Chains A and B, each alone.
Chain A
């Protein structure tokens, strides 16, 4: 999938949701990240043609989606995060409608998402998680080559989220998605765009994401970091019981694990960028 944006802006009265974004990238799986109100969903709504930019333009595979709305829907499907949908239609009727137009993955997805468990209920009466399942089912069953997903796992339980991630990874589809969760981004993404206040503060591929010597260090308790402050580690931030540290020698972290001072560690991806750019801190 190829995304080209030139001076892309979208404002609502005096508030800029997207502010002068210029991008040119091609990747099979693009992840949009950023704090609440950073412009992720606005970017997606323009990318699928639901909204028009105020200034500049955005092209998806050389199409301006908001100018060729019907054409775009032929090769793209999307799912926006929804906690409730006021539709007086039963889930089984939705399944029937989706199955009538699409082939292949419907049965497998129904199994993964557990759709049959609430097939006789009306969509308007579903919980937020079940509603999200219906929205995802509709988007993922489509024959479209590109799937655009807005926080796809936000209302799902961890098991379903995991199964769905496996499903997405093994499918030959291109994905453009947003998330707040670093692990989801690192599992599914191949190219990353980080937004803050409507501007791109960082973009790059996986190689660039993991290019810095920054590690996530897992602690037993928050206070445990005091025990390792004598070590030559540079603390960047503490997120709950995870510390983000900059260290030149990975052997030092291995020693700390052996000594039982930390639970474990892994190379930081998204969180390292967040820490470097003071996002969500």
Chain B
């Protein structure tokens, strides 16, 4: 426990207050507010959140916890606990998402869009899972490629899939699940093209995220650190 506290304190240094994090957070919430207040367009809210601000915010948080292998070796020597290093990063990520989650959910409640709360929570959970998976790679450049792919490219691709899907055709079970995991907000507005219901899809996606977090904890505890 002492090691976990030490790890959390260590990984907090340099995250908040950081001018870019604060600026991005403020800009995200202001944009979401103006869309809900003036445009009253929930699809635009989803697109702006899922394709621009949330992925950017997520990559920024991810880059804070993704360390090169020599840095990880140093941090293990400092914190003296493999599990604490992993959980320290996880805790800092969770705290990092709290302001954006509270802000966005608060806006959705304020403008009576309760149905988007679960997709948004699913999105944040999958961001955390993807960030934790990439943190185990111990290579910033490789991790960045994975983050850009999962946070930007795949969600945008999912939009293309929905737009090009012939009328009346639905996605198969696995693809639907993949969509709920990688682009839950987009999947929500296209739920009639899925072969899984919204609630099942989103809850399954959250469970997959939690399993990934646990799986990659074990991978980290067993992986080699080379430099």
Q: Could you jot down 7 A-B contacts, CB within 8 Å?
A: A69-B221, A70-B82, A78-B77, A87-B71, A90-B13, A100-B9, A135-B74
A interface residues, tally (CB under 8 Å): 29
Chain A CB count within 10 A is highest, among B13, B78, B224, B225, for B78
* Interface residues contributed by chain B, number (CB under 8 Å): 26
Complex contacts, B74 vs chain A, CB 8 Å: 80, 82, 85, 87, 135, 138
Contact status A51-B10, CB under 8 Å: no
Given A50-B73, A69-B221, A85-B74, CB of A97 within 8 Å of CB of B9: yes
Cβ contact of B77, chosen from A70, A79, A86, cutoff 8 A:
A79
Number of A-B contacts (CB under 8 A): 72
B67 interface hit (Cβ, 8 Å): yes
Q: How far is the CA of A60 from the CA of B64 in the complex (A)?
A: 34
A85–B221 CB distance below 8 A: no
B168: Cβ under 8 A from any A Cβ: no
**Interfacial residues, chain B to chain A (CB-CB below 8 A):** 2, 6, 9-10, 13-14, 64, 67-68, 70-71, 73-74, 76-78, 80-83, 140, 221, 224-227
Q: Which of A87-143 contact B (CB under 8 A)?
A: 87-90, 93-94, 97-98, 100-101, 135, 138-139, 142
User: Which A-chain residue is minimally distant from B9 (CB atoms)?
Assistant: A97
Q: Is A73 an interface residue (CB 8 A)?
A: yes
Where the two chains meet, the residues of A that have a C-beta atom closer than 8 Å to any C-beta of B are 45, 50-52, 69-70, 73-74, 77-80, 82, 85-90, 93-94, 97-98, 100-101, 135, 138-139, 142
Q: Are B80 and A73 in contact (CB under 8 A)?
A: yes
Query: Cβ of A86 and Cβ of B81 under 8 Å apart?
Result: no
Query: Contacts A69-B221, A73-B81; is A45 near B70 (CB within 8 Å)?
Result: no
Residues on the B chain within 8 Å of A86, using CB? 67-68, 71, 140
CA of A45 to CA of B227 in the docked complex: distance in angstroms? 9
Q: Which residue from chain B places its CB closest to the CB of A51 in the assembled complex? A: B224
How far, in Å, is A177 (CB) from chain B's closest CB? 15
Q: Which residue from chain B places its CB closest to the CB of A82 in the assembled complex?
A: B70
